[in-house]
Amino acid sequence: MQRKSRTFGQALAGFLAGAALLMAGGSANADVVYSFTANSSYSGFGTGAFSFTVPTFISTPDYIPLASLDSCTTSLGTCGSPQGFLSMSGYDTVGFRPDEFSTVYYYFDAGVFSQFGTFETVLFGTEQHGTLTISSVDAQEVPEPASIALAAIALCAVGAARRRSAKP
């Protein structure tokens, strides 16, 4: 049995098909959701909660404007802006603004802003307690137009090579 040698067109079609598969099979993106709940028995601090979604973990001090929050509720009326994520005195700290005039700080162990899980405040006991939940949500992966075009070219090249090899 004699083995047929590959033509340049068949080799090119195989290469393009492989490249299209590699480009289309990109890694899944996951957004990071921060959800915070505050419960303070101190006069004027009240209770509240907010959440927001970002593409990556918060790694530096950041202030999240009210318009960027997915939700925000407070027992004092309207949430203030911005909500802060800071590093203070060796703690990861959430600065919650339950109104436009005050900021209440909730302290968590250092490093919690960059990992998934549910975390409780470490200072002030039950008088000023907060819970921070950090989770992921899968973002819809949409192929790039160039990837779709490359896949179409690869399919055409494979079809042309098969048609050419089928002719006597």
pLDDT in tens, 104-138: 889 999 999 999 999 999 887 778 899 999 999 87
Query: What is the length of the chain?
Result: 168
User: With pLDDT > 90 as the criterion, what percentage of the chain qualifies?
Assistant: 26
DSSP 34-71: EEEEEEE-STTT-EEEEEEEESS---S-EEE-GGG-SE
- Please tell me the distance from the alpha carbon of residue 138 to that of residue 29, in angstroms, as a whole number: 6
Find the range with the poorest average confidence among 42-46, 58-62, 101-105, 152-156: 42-46
Query: Does 67 score more than 50 pLDDT?
Result: yes
Is pTM beyond 0.75? Reply is: no
pLDDT of amino acid 10: 61
Q: Which tokens go with 155?
A: 């399919």
- Assess contact for 92 and 79: CB atoms under 8 A: no
